[in-house]
Structure 1
Amino acid sequence: MNDVTFETLPQSVGRIMQGAPFVLGEEEARAFEKGTWLDRAYPEDDVPEYPETLVEGFLLLSMLDAAARLAAPTTASTMWGLNYGLDRVRFIAPVHLGQRVLSTYETLAVEPKDNGYKVLRRCTFTVEGQDRPAMVADWWSLALPRGTVERARRQP
């Protein structure tokens, strides 16, 4: 369980959280291809060397938020976050459909920003049983206290 609150966020630097393990299957891959228009861009699968079971890197990257959120749902009680961007993403080892992916999130920095904090996390996805990570991403988010939007709406 994640016991980090908005107030204690600055003290979370160095903390490592285990994300929710997940498996991507054919259904998720096809939905991703359709939602990102990859099915239109490559209608004839014109890259025969590309293994059918290989998970698209951007599909793997899109799992950052969900895997973190599913592992720590209590965070939402005191704060909410916005995607602030990525500094560095590397796809190091392949992930295939049906493989179980384990994720870790290490908080590297927490910096004041307006009414909240910019939070930098190093996110590492590894296929279960493998030593080498599949993906490493340095991901920034903007954490704001709950009620921020509501208070701003009430101001004249």
Structure 2
Amino acid sequence: MSDFHDLPSTVGTTIEGHPFVLGEDEDAAFTKATWLDKAYPEDTVPEYPATLVEGFLLLGMVDAASKLAAPDRGATAWGLNYGLDRVRFIRPVHLGQRVLSTFETLAVEPKDQGYKVLRRCVFTVEGDDGPAMIADWWSFALPRGTVERARREAPTTE
């Protein structure tokens, strides 16, 4: 997020993210953090290649990849995760492959004191013809300072 008041004018724009690579360290940390190591203690399923990136690990990269694509230098807005409308894992991604990302703003809708922002997030393995993952992701943007002002103005219960 950058300038809060400019958000409606971003509909139709696409930002290209920085390429990233997921390796064994990220895979191991994800497996431990999400308890996949406990749910599947014998991770030797012959049909599941050891180098295949788990779809939810890839989806979990959306926020960081988006932030790295458009850093908040001097931002007047900040955003919260509002949810996902649609996620599709179309092609496999393997550890060590270079992933390219794009973020297209599809909609900006007023909500309360802020905006709901819908972005189509597309991850593609470098050199592949089509996307590996497409996610339509909503965020809720507010002007910086909104929460702080509300806290200051809230009546105390002492």
4+ aligned runs moved over 3 Å, structure 1: none
Change (3 A) 1:83 1:76: farther
Q: Which residue of 1 aligns with 2:137?
A: 139
Contact 1:91 1:135 in 2 (8 A): yes
In 1, the alpha carbon distance for the partners of 2:139 and 2:65 equals: 15
In 2, the alpha carbon distance for the partners of 1:35 and 1:75 equals: 30
In 2, the alpha carbon distance for the partners of 1:75 and 1:111 equals: 23
Q: Which residue of 1 aligns with 2:12?
A: 14
In 1, the alpha carbon distance for the partners of 2:14 and 2:97 equals: 23
**How far 1:151 sits from its partner (Å)?**
0.2
In 2, the alpha carbon distance for the partners of 1:84 and 1:113 equals: 12
SS at 1:96's partner residue?
Answer: coil
Q: Say which of 120, 124, 127 aligns to 1:126.
A: 124
Alignment of 1:58-97 (within 5 A): 58-74=56-72, 77-97=75-95
Q: Tell me if 1:33 matches 2:28.
A: no
Q: CA RMSD in A?
A: 1.3
In 2, the alpha carbon distance for the partners of 1:77 and 1:151 equals: 17
C-alpha offsets along residues 46-71 of structure 1, whole Å, 9 cap, x if unaligned? 52210000000000000000001012
Q: Which residue of 1 aligns with 2:100?
A: 102
SS at 1:140's partner residue?
Answer: strand
Question: Structure 2: which 5+ runs fail to align?
Answer: none
Q: Which residue of 2 aligns with 1:115?
A: 113
> TM-score, normalised to structure 1's length?
0.95
- Corresponding residue pairs, total: 154
Amino acid at match of 1:44: E
Contact 1:105 1:122 in 2 (8 A): yes
In 1, the alpha carbon distance for the partners of 2:85 and 2:63 equals: 16
Q: Which residue of 1 aligns with 2:49?
A: 51
> TM-score, normalised to structure 2's length?
0.94
